[in-house]
């Protein structure tokens, strides 16, 4: 059942007013409505959280969702459960990813056909070969190196092998830069993998200004999607839909990647040397 956002927004606005928040920090009703919708799109506020509830109980459910959103902001918001202007504008403009969660390569026959990988091109079971079409500019840094580091961060926590290829016909991931939605909001997006026999795409938004951290963290998050991970609503994960303070997979991200791609192989050199019993005559 659909959520009645207008009713919720009215309730939340009353809560904000009752909390004594100064008028200049109070959001407008229409903005609140949009913000609540966004919480719902991000699956932070679920229909079952609010269904059949009203008055105070309903408000508590919404406050809980707002608190969760504030926690996933990775320290950039005060966690106070209050849906004020700051939280709202973070939701609106917080640098985030709208992962193309739809497996469009599965459902769109044209995309599938154009991007299916010829059967004579072989991949290892846990192998990704990525082709770089275009990368955005990154202030004071080489985006290619940062991208390599982002792949490495995943290879450190699961059985994945990822290498760059300059042969488009032999890749299963294409990395490019295109106009997505102008500055802010969406930084990048990616298909949800794993790739199987269809080439997947990761694209950065060409209108963004990337510094080193922002680029590496975004790349690493999007790679998570390519590997098959969706968004996490638990705070403190790289796979939160908003950019937090992580630029590498957190423990939950790592666990999910290992479920999909196996555990990271133990390098032979760190295996203990077998003890050969010395024969004493």
Q: By CB under 5 A, name the binding residues for Zn ion.
A: 97, 99
Quote the DSSP letter at residue 242.
Answer: B
Q: Which residues does 264 contact at the CB level (< 8 Å), separation at least 6?
A: 155, 156, 157, 158, 159, 258
Residue nearest to Zn ion (CB): 97
Q: What angle do CA 203, 259, 249 make, to 5 degrees?
A: 50
Taking each helix axis from N to C end, the angle separating 29-41 and 85-93, rounded to the nearest 10 degrees, works out to: 50
- Six-digit token pair at 136? 């955005």
* DSSP for 95-130, written as a single string: -EE--B-S-HHHH-HHHHHHHBPPTT----TTEEEE
Cβ closer to Zn ion: 191 or 199?
Answer: 191
Least distance (Å) from Zn ion to the CB of residue 184?
Answer: 15
Cβ closer to Zn ion: 81 or 241?
Answer: 241
Q: Identify whether the C-beta of residue 174 lies closer than 8 Å to the C-beta of residue 189.
A: no
Nearest to 74 by CA among 248, 238, 251, 254: 238
Q: Identify whether the C-beta of residue 187 lies closer than 8 Å to the C-beta of residue 243.
A: yes
Quote the DSSP letter at residue 207.
Answer: T
Dihedral pair phi/psi, residue 169, rounded to 5°: -65, -15
Cβ closer to Zn ion: 16 or 157?
Answer: 157
Q: What angle do CA 239, 243, 244 make, to 5 degrees?
A: 90
Cβ closer to Zn ion: 84 or 249?
Answer: 249
Task: Return left, alpha or beta for 95; rule: phi > 0 is left, psi -120 to 50 is alpha, else beta.
Answer: beta
């Amino acid at each position: 059942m659909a959520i009645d956002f207008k009713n919720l927004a009215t309730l939340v606005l009353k809560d904000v007013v009752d909390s004594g928040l100064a008028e200049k920090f109070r959001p407008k009703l229409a903005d609140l409505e949009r913000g609540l919708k966004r919480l719902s799109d991000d699956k932070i506020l679920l229909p079952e959280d609010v269904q059949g509830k009203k008055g105070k109980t309903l408000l508590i459910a919404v406050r809980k969702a707002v608190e969760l959103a504030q926690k996933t902001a990775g320290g950039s918001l005060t966690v106070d459960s209050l849906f004020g202007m700051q939280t709202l504008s973070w939701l609106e403009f917080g640098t985030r990813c709208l992962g193309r969660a739809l497996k469009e390569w599965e459902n769109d026959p044209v995309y599938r056909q154009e991007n299916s990988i010829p059967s004579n091109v072989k991949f290892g079971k846990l192998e990704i070969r990525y082709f770089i079409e275009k990368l955005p500019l990154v202030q004071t840094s080489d985006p290619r190196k940062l991208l390599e580091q982002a792949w490495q961060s995943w290879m450190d926590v699961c059985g994945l092998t990822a290498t760059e290829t300059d042969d488009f016909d032999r890749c299963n991931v294409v990395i490019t830069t295109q106009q997505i939605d102008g500055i802010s909001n969406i930084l990048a997006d990616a298909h949800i993998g794993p790739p199987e026999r269809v080439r997947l795409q990761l694209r950065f938004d060409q209108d963004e200004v990337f510094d080193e951290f922002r680029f590496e963290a975004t790349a690493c998050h999007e790679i998570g999607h390519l590997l098959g991970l969706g968004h996490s609503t638990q705070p403190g994960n790289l796979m939160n839909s908003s950019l937090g303070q992580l630029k590498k997979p957190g423990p939950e991200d790592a666990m999910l990647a290992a479920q999909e791609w196996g555990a990271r192989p133990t390098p032979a050199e760190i295996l203990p040397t077998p003890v050969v019993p010395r024969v004493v005559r």
